[in-house]
Structure 1
Amino acid sequence: MTLKGVKAAGYERMTAVQEATLPIILQGKDVLAKARTGTGKTVAFLLPAIEVVSKLTPVDCDQKRPPISVVVVCPTRELADQAAVEANKLLKFHPSIGVQLVIGGTRMALEQKRMHTNPAQILVATPGRLRDHMENTPGFATRLMGVKVLILDEADRLLDMGFRTDIEKIVAALPKQRQTLLFSATVPDEVRQVCYIAMKRDLEFVNTVQEGSEETHSQVKQMHLITPLDKQFSILYGLLKDHISENVDYKVIVFCTTAKVTSLIAELLSELKLNVREIHSRKPQSYRTRISKEFKESKGLILVSSDVSARGVDYPNVTFVVQLGVPSDREQYIHRLGRTGRKGNEGAGILLLTPWEEYFLRDIKDLPITEATQPLLDLDTKRKVEKALAHVEVKDKESAYQAWLGYYNSNRYIGRDKYQLVSLANEFSRSMGLNNPPAVPKLVLRKMGLNNIPGLRSK
């Protein structure tokens, strides 16, 4: 009957994910499957689940209110809705099996009524609403005692969206003797911890994500580090020093947010006696071509760059890419990182963000990025950086401050709150050793929509 449903739903051939997971799931094992969205995984978990329900003894099905046999948990209403639609298609020839959708944003009382009038054996839910029913719908918790299969779909997104506690509560409310299937595009530590809580020890891990299909090179080790602004320069220096001491033939690119900030960082690193070149849109083309050629051909160099050289430039043997400040978007992050690990070489990349730029990690959460360990900063390093900053020209700091203000003002997350923006800009000013924020031309402030915001000086 299920196969008739599969044919009627228009499926002819199995996708790679279905081929890899179905046989194991049908054996009744717990499965952790690493699979991307859009690979046919919904059918991969629904088919066996429907099989389980259809094999239950009719006694279970004759009761006025059959127990819930399958629970599917999805991170968003849209995904839950899609899964329910898919389940209904596959159930075309199983008139006795029903699907109930419970999601936030709809009236709780309406869902309770539906569950009462025609109780379904398959429940598709978002975590918050499922927990709501467990706690507030009479008789619901009892019906969950019949669950044979629990499916957590897009587990990494469930956790990123903060549903960890809900999932733990749901797992605790279900019978121990059940099959658990977990599908996730990535398998970070948090997903592993949930496997530990929810699944049997002999679970099978099935990886259906093809090596090389990742958007970022698998041989590039990606890291991020959250640091306060006042420590950012010291941490950058520390990271570069560590990298140079471990790599004789080091070749590093440091990407900055704007041309003026690029200039500032290049000047600071030169004062710190590092071998630095800079490249950005404010430099004439002839100079840029010369620097680009030099960087291509040499080793033992650090190139401080704005996004001029993020796309498509092929510098061979880059060993390390540092991104300082939030990239404008996910694509830019990927392009910048793609300057290293080319042609089969290994490489590493680190993204340095302040606590208020941390939102960006959500955009790249499906990439294999991990948190780096904070480099140890001794007093000597901090003093060195402060001394070098004192030697950087004041006019360069002033230009960098204005450019910084412009860049973050046009960022839709950070530029929304102008008062907060100014307070952050002044923190940036202090981090350069300017206790008094530089004055900005009135016209520029007007253009940025920053007139009369306290904390700004105009000239």
Structure 2
Amino acid sequence: MLASLRRCPTSLPRAFAAGRVAARSTAFVNLTTRTSTRPSLPHRAFHSAPRLSQVQAAAAAQPNVQTQRITKFEDLATHGLVHPNIIRAVTEDMKLETMTEVQSATINQALRGDDVIAQARTGTGKTLGFLLPTLQAILNKNPELENHSVARGNTYGRNNQLNVRGIIISPTRELAEQIAVEAKKVVYHTGIKVQTAVGGMGKPQSLRRIHMQGCHLLVATPGRLIDLLTDPSANIAAPNLDVFCLDEADRLLETGFYEDILEIKKNLPPQSQKDRQTLMFSATIPKTVKTMVRSLLKPDFHFVQTIRADEAPTHMRVPQKVVEASSYKNVILSLVELIQREVQNSTPERPFKAMIFMNTTKQVPLFADVLSNLQMMTTSSPEFKRLHVGQIQSGMDQRQRTRAADDFRHCKTGILVSSDVTARGMDFPNVTHVIQFGTPRSRDDYVHRIGRTGRAGKEGQAWLLIPQFDSNEALDKLGEFPIKLDTSLKTPTEDLRNPSPETSELLTIVSNAFKQVDLWVKKDAYRIMVTSNVQGKRPATKQKVVNEVNDAAMAVMGLHELPGFSQRAITAGGLGSLNGITAETPRQGFGSSDGARGGFGSGESRGGFGSGGSRGGFGSGESRGGFGSGGFRGGFGSSDRSRSGGGFGSRGGFGSSDRSGSGGGFGSRGGFGSSDRRGGFGSGARRGFN
């Protein structure tokens, strides 16, 4: 699977004899761990590097040489491996008794202090697999923290230099918050303090909390951690760091993230001066992991594989269906029809709970608002009205995102419209459906999205809704997966110029729901629908994309005229030669910079003295009034939009909005199934999915 790792043992049998590899079939705990010495490997064993796939294969064939398998959490305390106060929280408070396979396979090795890289299916309890060893390592060095009554003020010195003993890095804010919540449950009966450092929350408030309460375990996203470690005024360092853990390691290797990890490493004490343990966990182990393994893990690391070669991963076990729609309008209607049908077919024992993934942030508030508006219509079924509808996207601040995640996590039936910020590692129980609107950007995005359903042995299903112009791209990216063409919906292939009475009624209902959405939300979504869908396509297909999105914008989304594009967007997207693309109208008035919207404009102009993205002034028509800035929408403007308006309207006054919640002021707010077509998900002699 992986290219060679220079510092891995060259002699696999010798490496196994030294106990450096743990496999799925040898998930046993050596009860003499604490008194045994760690075997050493001769230096010559590291001259050349085997592949991790070879390690996995050889480890699976290695006979069991250990004597007792620990599968119960309470046994970790009984045998003195983990402090009873930690196990008490796990067994009594969290009501967990039996370890999952990844937990029993990794905890022993990690408790020995070994570096570990572990691969396990999503939803199998990886978080506890690295939390228990990390927290026990903290207690080993700080036994005064074993009891809950420890004085928090004694955890750092007068200069507020915190005693950070463990750092866990997560690629997303949501996952970091989820890990921190889990960690706080586990440390409840101890004196260990867990803190988070993520973007989207005020840095001064976070620092104040950390310095007031102390911090032994810091759960962070890469960018915010770098910010804290490199800012002298933050006064955050980790000279006593014992454990460095990376969750979703494959994602942390993506563009930009790996450079962040190296920057973080530069700001940690050198391992030659302060030895530390490194743990890496991931659901997938791509080839690029070798780079991080070589730069972060010790040569005698353990590779834990809990996925059998004959075991189907989640993304192969979950039933997957693709709906190919005749046009972009049909895709929108298909989404609503699918939700309505699946809600109607749900049962009290298995209520409908779905995650809808959009490829861009701007589409999330649009479709979340549409679904909320549909709930308020008299034509909606009682089951549809009872759905909890929420959204998560990067334009929301962290408090909003955390609240939305918690609401969806605890609801019995609902819909979460999201961008990919929730696609990895997030644990939302009982998700029955994952619906993807449009072809995902990559194969890995598709895999991780599907991983939100079918978790922990539960049933689930995945749907992919695409227009015909995305057929070839979808097949090229996803041709290896067991995706079946679905023709059970009525709207995907119906001619909307002459629709049936049922489809005509649905079209009217959906159009009315769009009309109630904020105009600027629709305009922003329209622009990104065009630019994201033309990427990588040939000129003729680009023109088809523009024609279909324009048609949907006017006929379904309720735009009376098509928004213009900035010159930068036209150039970057290669839109200049396409019909139906117009440039933005120059802004009038006193605004400054490229994004300024100034003056006492009319029509679509945005008045006032705003700068950057601000929208100020005494505009009229579709303008936004007031002296707002950034996302603020203020003032005395007027509007013919049903949800907008200046002054004291739904988006008026001096309020702010990230377009996910209420406004400000005093208001409220070609290819998958025909016979001889090339490259579809259909049938016949052509390649593709049947």
TM-score by length of 1: 0.52
Query: Residue 174 of structure 1 corresponds to which residue in structure 2?
Result: 268
Residues 252-263 of structure 1 mapped to structure 2, 5 A cutoff: none
Q: Is 1:214–2:313 an aligned residue pair?
A: yes
CA-to-partner distance for each residue in 1:224-259, whole Å, 9 max, x for gaps? xxxxxxxxxxxxxxxxxxxxxxxxxxxxxxx99889
CA distance in 1, matches of 2:281, 2:326: 43
How far off is 1:97 after superposition?
1.5
Query: Residue 342 of structure 1 corresponds to which residue in structure 2?
Result: none
8 Å CA contact 1:18, 1:41 repeated in 2: yes
The one-letter code matched in structure 1 to 2:189 is: F
Say which of 578, 581, 596 aligns to 1:455: 578
Residues 50-449 of structure 1 mapped to structure 2, 5 A cutoff: 50-57=135-142, 63-64=156-157, 65-94=161-190, 96-138=191-233, 140-141=235-236, 143-160=237-254, 162-175=256-269, 176=271, 177-211=275-309, 212-215=311-314, 359-364=441-446, 404=469, 416-418=528-530, 427-428=539-540, 449=554
Query: Residue 21 of structure 1 corresponds to which residue in structure 2?
Result: 106
How far off is 1:172 after superposition?
2.3
8 Å CA contact 1:99, 1:120 repeated in 2: yes
TM-score by length of 2: 0.35
SS in 1 for 2:539: helix
CA-to-partner distance for each residue in 1:181-226, whole Å, 9 max, x for gaps? 00011111222211111111111000112432225669xxxxxxxx
CA distance in 2, matches of 1:41, 1:426: 43
CA-to-partner distance for each residue in 1:384-434, whole Å, 9 max, x for gaps? xxxxxxxxxxxxxxxxxx9749999x9x9998454886898762379xxxx
CA distance in 2, matches of 1:80, 1:110: 17
The one-letter code matched in structure 1 to 2:578 is: G
How far off is 1:103 after superposition?
0.9
Which moves more between the two structures, 81-90 or 17-26? 81-90
Q: Give the RMSD, CA atoms, in angstroms.
A: 4.4
Query: Residue 6 of structure 1 corresponds to which residue in structure 2?
Result: 90
8 Å CA contact 1:30, 1:179 repeated in 2: yes
SS in 2 for 1:146: coil
CA-to-partner distance for each residue in 1:19-45, whole Å, 9 max, x for gaps? 000111011100000023321111111
Residues 38-53 of structure 1 mapped to structure 2, 5 A cutoff: 38-53=123-138
SS in 2 for 1:155: coil
The one-letter code matched in structure 2 to 1:164 is: Y
8 Å CA contact 2:162, 2:211 repeated in 1: no
CA distance in 2, matches of 1:153, 1:187: 12
How far off is 1:139 after superposition?
6.3
SS in 2 for 1:152: strand
The one-letter code matched in structure 2 to 1:117 is: M
CA distance in 2, matches of 1:116, 1:107: 14
Relative to 1, partners in 2 of residues 1:4 and 1:444: Cα closer, same or farther, differing over 3 Å? closer
SS in 2 for 1:24: helix
The one-letter code matched in structure 2 to 1:154 is: E
CA distance in 1, matches of 2:531, 2:143: 66
SS in 1 for 2:291: helix
Q: Where in structure 1 are there 5+ consecutive unaligned residues? A: 219-254, 261-355, 368-401, 431-436
CA distance in 2, matches of 1:18, 1:444: 48
Relative to 1, partners in 2 of residues 1:105 and 1:259: Cα closer, same or farther, differing over 3 Å? closer
CA distance in 1, matches of 2:301, 2:468: 53
CA distance in 1, matches of 2:532, 2:144: 63
8 Å CA contact 1:258, 1:404 repeated in 2: no
The one-letter code matched in structure 1 to 2:276 is: R
Aligned length: 280
8 Å CA contact 1:154, 1:185 repeated in 2: yes
How far off is 1:446 after superposition?
5.1
Relative to 1, partners in 2 of residues 1:418 and 1:79: Cα closer, same or farther, differing over 3 Å? closer
The one-letter code matched in structure 2 to 1:363 is: D
CA distance in 1, matches of 2:540, 2:116: 48
8 Å CA contact 2:530, 2:549 repeated in 1: no
Higher RCO, Cα 8 Å, sep 6+? 1
Relative to 1, partners in 2 of residues 1:115 and 1:361: Cα closer, same or farther, differing over 3 Å? same
Relative to 1, partners in 2 of residues 1:91 and 1:258: Cα closer, same or farther, differing over 3 Å? closer
CA distance in 1, matches of 2:181, 2:550: 52
The one-letter code matched in structure 2 to 1:455 is: L
Q: Where in structure 2 are there 5+ consecutive unaligned residues? A: 1-84, 146-153, 328-437, 450-466, 474-491, 493-523, 556-560, 563-574, 581-690
The one-letter code matched in structure 2 to 1:185 is: A
Relative to 1, partners in 2 of residues 1:29 and 1:258: Cα closer, same or farther, differing over 3 Å? same
CA-to-partner distance for each residue in 1:40-82, whole Å, 9 max, x for gaps? 1111111111111112156997652442000011111121111
Query: Residue 293 of structure 1 corresponds to which residue in structure 2?
Result: none
The one-letter code matched in structure 2 to 1:54 is: L
Q: Percent identity?
A: 32
CA distance in 1, matches of 2:549, 2:448: 38
CA-to-partner distance for each residue in 1:317-354, whole Å, 9 max, x for gaps? xxxxxxxxxxxxxxxxxxxxxxxxxxxxxxxxxxxxxx
How far off is 1:455 after superposition?
3.5
Relative to 1, partners in 2 of residues 1:213 and 1:132: Cα closer, same or farther, differing over 3 Å? same
Relative to 1, partners in 2 of residues 1:357 and 1:151: Cα closer, same or farther, differing over 3 Å? same
CA-to-partner distance for each residue in 1:281-334, whole Å, 9 max, x for gaps? xxxxxxxxxxxxxxxxxxxxxxxxxxxxxxxxxxxxxxxxxxxxxxxxxxxxxx
